[in-house]
Amino acid sequence: MEKFIIEGGVPLEGEIEPSGNKNAALPILAACLLTDEKVILNNLPDIQDVQTMRALLQSLGVSISQIATHKWEIQAREIRPADLDPDLSSKIRASILLAGPMVARMGTLRLPPPGGDVIGRRRVDTHIFALNALGANVEYNRHFTFKAQSLHGANILLDEASVTATENTIMAAVLANGTTTIKNAASEPHVQELCNFLNILGAKIENIGSNTLVIHGVPKLHGGEYEIGADYLEVISFIGASVVTKGSIRIKNAGVEHLDMIRMVFRRLGVDWQVVDKDIVVPREQSLAIESDLGEAIPEISVMPWPAFPTDLMSIAIVVATQSNGTVLFHDWMYPSRMFFTDKLVGMGAQIVLCDPHRCIVQGPSRLYGEKMESPDIRAGMALLLAALSAKGCSTIRNVAQIERGYERIDDKLKALGANISRQ
């Protein structure tokens, strides 16, 4: 099991360019099943989750060739409803994204339970309700069996604004007969990217970026080429790393159009940045003072569906708050295990009270000290890496494969910015 050794306290300096959005790449790869023609994808992140999705697609008969490190040619000319490898399926939550396109294209799929980060229960009921509405039958007996003679348009109100359920419904609906309306749809940047990609292939999706999608089914999709946008979660991770190390960096092609709400929240932690064309410049001078609510009340930062503050950035914001002056309450009602990494921050010297599985109070600033830790999941692992970069002394982070499921060559990128980090 590989580990990172980090000597903290080194300000980050220089320029960096984020990788492609992992959460866009995975559904877009799954959507390649919807056409028998060639698709070329650019700016795919070279990470383990993407490689796992590649293996799953190839097990279904999809031809994939790597033109360059971040460029693939994909063709699902002759696919088969093969039983998916349960070990591969258990590695990523995104394996469930194969259901929508396979039911639309082949009428069947047998899917082992999906995996992913252990951050609490992640229900799949919304997927089933939506696919049922489109005409699919779903059975569960320690695995899922999806079947459909044909799919038809429907008016669908999702019982939660689930990203993956929205994506599955979109992919199934683009080849269904008639028009589908999806209400309470997720609208995250990666959902928008999936819609834009499908439209390039000939789909007819309207109201992209809203919570009500209208999809006019078409009989067939054709091939095409698409470039995946910047991973905004990686962008904010680098902003956080710059701030907690008191550095100054420039993030090129940062996808600034998606960061307005996130910027509002980070301003409440005393953090801001400059937008220069398509780049973000993080200045060394930050107030790092938590902004109180009216009447000097302790502020609350809570996650909500997009375009509000995303749950995947809660861990990063908590680490930044440990270096800001003041008190703030964090509330993540979505996942009951999201905050269970905070005990590791406390062990490093942070002043954090874990109120319950969903809430914690952070009092800052705190001097952090090097510690030996293990990465529990992608986002918490990256947050611990930020804490280690800020800390006095040496830190060891084990199980870095968890971090690298979502961050491409993160140690090399940090080294390029001057971080003292090595892999063992």
Packing angle, helices 232-244 and 378-390, rounded to 10: 20
Write the secondary structure of the chain as one string of H (helix), E (strand) and C (coil).
CCEEEEECCCCCEEEECCCECHHHHHHHHHHHHHCCCEEEEECCCCCHHHHHHHHHHHHCCCEEEEEECCEEEEECCCCCCCCCCHHHHCCCHHHHHHHHHHHHHCCEEEECCCCCCCCCCCCCHHHHHHHHHCCCEEEECCCEEEECCCCECCEEECCCCCHHHHHHHHHHHCCCECEEEEECCCCCHHHHHHHHHHHHCCCEEECCCCCEEEEECCCCCCCEEEECCECHHHHHHHHHHHHHCCCEEEECCCCHHHCHHHHHHHHHCCCCCEEECCEEEECCCCCCECCCEHHHECCEEECCCCCCCCHHHHHHHHHHHCCCEEEEEEECCCCCCCCCCHHHHHHCCCEEEEEECCEEEEEECCCCECCEEECCCHHHHHHHHHHHHHCECEEEEECCHHHHCCCCCHHHHHHHCCCEEEEC
Q: How far is 412 from 166, CA to CA, in rounded Å?
A: 35
Q: How far is CA 176 from the centre of its chain?
A: 28
In the set 36, 83, 87, 117, the catalytic residue is 117
Residue 117 falls in the annotated catalytic set: yes
> Which residues are identified as catalytic?
117
